[in-house]
Amino acid sequence: MTNVVVPAVINLDVTGPVISRHLYGHFAEHLGRCIYGGFYVGEDSDLPNAAGIRLDVVESLRALNIPNLRWPGGCFADEYHWMDGIGPKDRRPVMVNTHWGNVEENNHFGTHEFMALCELLGAEPYISGNIGSGTVKEMSDWVEYLTREGDSPMVRLRKANGRDEPWRVRFWGLGNEAWGCGGNMSAEQYAAEARRYGTYCRDHGDNKLYRIAAGANSDDYAWTETLMKSLGTLGCAYRPTSFVQALSLHYYTVPGPWHDKGDATVFDTDDYYRTMVQAARVDELLTRHSDIMNCYDPDKHVGLVLDEWGTWWNVEPGTNPGFLYQQNTLRDALVAGLHFDIFHRHADRLVMANIAQTVNVLQAMILTDPESGALVLTPTYHVFEMNKGHHDAASLRVDLLSAAPARVIGSAPLQTVSLSASRKEGRVLISLSNLDAAEAADVDLDLRGGSVTDVRSRILTAGRLQDHNTPEAPDTVAPRPHQQVVPTASGLRVHLPAHSFVTVEARLA
Ligand code: AHR
Domain check: are 176 and 32 in the same one?
yes
pLDDT tens digits along 174-218 = 999 999 999 999 999 999 999 999 999 999 999 999 999 999 999
pLDDT tens digits along 87-143 = 999 999 999 999 999 999 999 999 999 999 999 999 999 999 999 999 999 999 999
Among 251-255, 295-299, 397-401, 443-447, which stretch is predicted with the lowest mean pLDDT? 295-299
Among 144-153, 230-239, 299-308, which stretch is predicted with the lowest mean pLDDT? 230-239
Instruction: Give 170-188 as a DSSP string.
Output: -EEEE-S-TTTTTT---HH
Q: Which residue's CA lies nearest to atom 4 of ligand 1?
A: 74
What mean pLDDT comes out for the span 395-399? 97
> What distance in angstroms lies between residue 315's CA and the mean position of ligand 1's atoms?
14
Phi, psi angles (nearest 5°) of residue 433: -125, 140
Instruction: Find out whether 211 and 244 touch, Cβ atoms under 8 Å.
Output: yes
Domain check: are 414 and 269 in the same one?
no
* Residue of 26, 27, 29 to test ligand 1 pocket, by largest number of atoms within 8 Å of CB: 29
Domain, as residue range, for 170: 21-391
First to last CA, the chain: 35
Global pTM value? 0.96
> What distance in angstroms lies between residue 176's CA and the mean position of ligand 1's atoms?
9
> What distance in angstroms lies between residue 474's CA and the mean position of ligand 1's atoms?
28
Q: Which residue's CA lies nearest to atom 6 of ligand 1?
A: 74
AA identity, residue 5: V
Q: Which residue's CA lies nearest to atom 8 of ligand 1?
A: 74
Among left, alpha and beta (phi > 0; psi -120 to 50; other), residue 373 is left
AA identity, residue 56: D
Q: Whole-angstrom Cα distance, residue 121 to residue 50?
A: 12
Instruction: Find out whether 211 and 245 touch, Cβ atoms under 8 Å.
Output: yes
Domain check: are 486 and 367 in the same one?
no
Could you give the 3-state DSSP secondary structure of residue 85? helix
State which of 375, 391, 407 marks the end of a domain: 391
Nearest partner of 399 among 12, 2, 4, 3, judged by Cα: 12
In this prediction, residue 30 has a pLDDT band, given cuts at 50, 70 and 90, of very high
**Residues near 433 by beta carbon (within 8 Å), at least 6 away in sequence:** 334, 337, 338, 341, 417, 418, 419, 496, 500, 501, 502
Q: Whole-angstrom Cα distance, residue 298 to residue 291?
A: 9
What mean pLDDT comes out for the span 320-342? 98
Among 229-238, 317-326, 449-458, which stretch is predicted with the lowest mean pLDDT? 229-238
Q: Which atom of ligand 1 is least distant from the CA of 75?
A: 6
Domain check: are 436 and 306 in the same one?
no
> What distance in angstroms lies between residue 8's CA and the mean position of ligand 1's atoms?
38
Of the chain, the percentage scoring pLDDT greater than 70 comes to 97
Q: What pLDDT score was predicted for residue 290? A: 98
* Residue of 176, 212, 357 to test ligand 1 pocket, by largest number of atoms within 8 Å of CB: 176
pLDDT tens digits along 271-291 = 999 999 999 999 999 999 999
Domain check: are 163 and 52 in the same one?
yes
CATH of the domain at 492: 2.60.40.1180
Nearest partner of 444 among 503, 504, 494, judged by Cα: 494
Q: Which atom of ligand 1 is least distant from the CA of 177?
A: 8
Q: What pLDDT score was predicted for residue 231? A: 78
Q: What pLDDT score was predicted for residue 388? A: 98
Domain check: are 372 and 403 in the same one?
no
pLDDT tens digits along 399-454 = 999 888 999 999 889 999 999 999 999 999 999 999 999 999 999 999 999 999 99
CATH of the domain at 30: 3.20.20.80
**How many domains does the chain contain in total?**
2
Mean pLDDT in the chain?
A: 96
β-strands 210-217, 480-481: how paired? unpaired
* Residue of 33, 35, 70, 75 to test ligand 1 pocket, by largest number of atoms within 8 Å of CB: 75
Domain check: are 166 and 285 in the same one?
yes
> What distance in angstroms lies between residue 191's CA and the mean position of ligand 1's atoms?
20
Domain check: are 336 and 426 in the same one?
no
Q: Whole-angstrom Cα distance, residue 397 to residue 421?
A: 7
Domain check: are 239 and 378 in the same one?
yes
Q: Which atom of ligand 1 is least distant from the CA of 356?
A: 1
In this prediction, residue 66 has a pLDDT band, given cuts at 50, 70 and 90, of very high
Q: Which atom of ligand 1 is least distant from the CA of 176?
A: 8
In this prediction, residue 1 has a pLDDT band, given cuts at 50, 70 and 90, of low
State which of 364, 391, 418 marks the end of a domain: 391
Instruction: Find out whether 181 and 99 touch, Cβ atoms under 8 Å.
Output: yes
Half-sphere exposure of 72 (CA within 13 A, CB side): 28
Q: What pLDDT score was predicted for residue 241? A: 52
Nearest partner of 185 among 218, 221, 143, 227, judged by Cα: 227
Q: Which atom of ligand 1 is least distant from the CA of 29?
A: 6
Q: Which residue's CA lies nearest to atom 7 of ligand 1?
A: 74
Q: Which residue's CA lies nearest to atom 1 of ligand 1?
A: 356
Q: What pLDDT score was predicted for residue 173? A: 98
Q: What pLDDT score was predicted for residue 3? A: 80
Partners of 504 in the β-ladder? 430, 457
Q: Which residue's CA lies nearest to atom 2 of ligand 1?
A: 74
* Residue of 26, 80, 177 to test ligand 1 pocket, by largest number of atoms within 8 Å of CB: 177
Burial-class residue 314 by CB neighbours within 10 Å (0-12, 13-18, 19+).
Answer: middle
State which of 363, 391, 419 marks the end of a domain: 391
Q: What pLDDT score was predicted for residue 243? A: 82
The answer to whether the bond into 357 is cis (omega within 30° of 0) is yes
* Residue of 69, 126, 181 to test ligand 1 pocket, by largest number of atoms within 8 Å of CB: 181
Q: Whole-angstrom Cα distance, residue 11 to residue 447?
A: 6
Domain check: are 384 and 466 in the same one?
no
Instruction: Find out whether 9 and 82 touch, Cβ atoms under 8 Å.
Output: no
In this prediction, residue 467 has a pLDDT band, given cuts at 50, 70 and 90, of very high
Instruction: Find out whether 3 and 442 touch, Cβ atoms under 8 Å.
Output: yes
What mean pLDDT comes out for the span 43-71? 97
Q: What pLDDT score was predicted for residue 230? A: 87
AA identity, residue 49: N
What mean pLDDT comes out for the span 244-254? 96
Q: Which residue's CA lies nearest to atom 3 of ligand 1?
A: 74
User: Is residue 235 scored above 80 in pLDDT?
Assistant: no
> What distance in angstroms lies between residue 167's CA and the mean position of ligand 1's atoms?
27
Q: Whole-angstrom Cα distance, residue 323 to residue 30?
A: 10
Q: Which atom of ligand 1 is least distant from the CA of 324?
A: 2
Which protein residues touch ligand 1 with a CB less than 6 Å away? 29, 73-75, 176-177, 308, 356-357, 362
Among 36-50, 219-233, 479-493, which stretch is predicted with the lowest mean pLDDT? 219-233
> What distance in angstroms lies between residue 478's CA and the mean position of ligand 1's atoms?
28
Domain check: are 455 and 434 in the same one?
yes
CA 55 → CA 6, 233, 383, distances in Å?
A: 44, 43, 22
Q: Which atom of ligand 1 is least distant from the CA of 357?
A: 1
Q: Which residue's CA lies nearest to atom 5 of ligand 1?
A: 74
Q: What pLDDT score was predicted for residue 277? A: 97
SS3 labels along 349-402: CEEEEEECCCECCCCCCEEECCCCCCEEECHHHHHHHHCHHHCCEEEEEEEECC
Nearest partner of 279 among 242, 241, 252, 312, judged by Cα: 252
> What distance in angstroms lies between residue 74's CA and the mean position of ligand 1's atoms?
5
Domain check: are 320 and 197 in the same one?
yes
Instruction: Find out whether 6 and 446 touch, Cβ atoms under 8 Å.
Output: no
Which residues are part of the catalytic machinery? 177, 308
> 10 Å Cβ neighbour count for 477?
27
Instruction: Find out whether 382 and 477 touch, Cβ atoms under 8 Å.
Output: yes
User: Is residue 2 scored above 70 in pLDDT?
Assistant: no
> What distance in angstroms lies between residue 181's CA and the mean position of ligand 1's atoms?
9
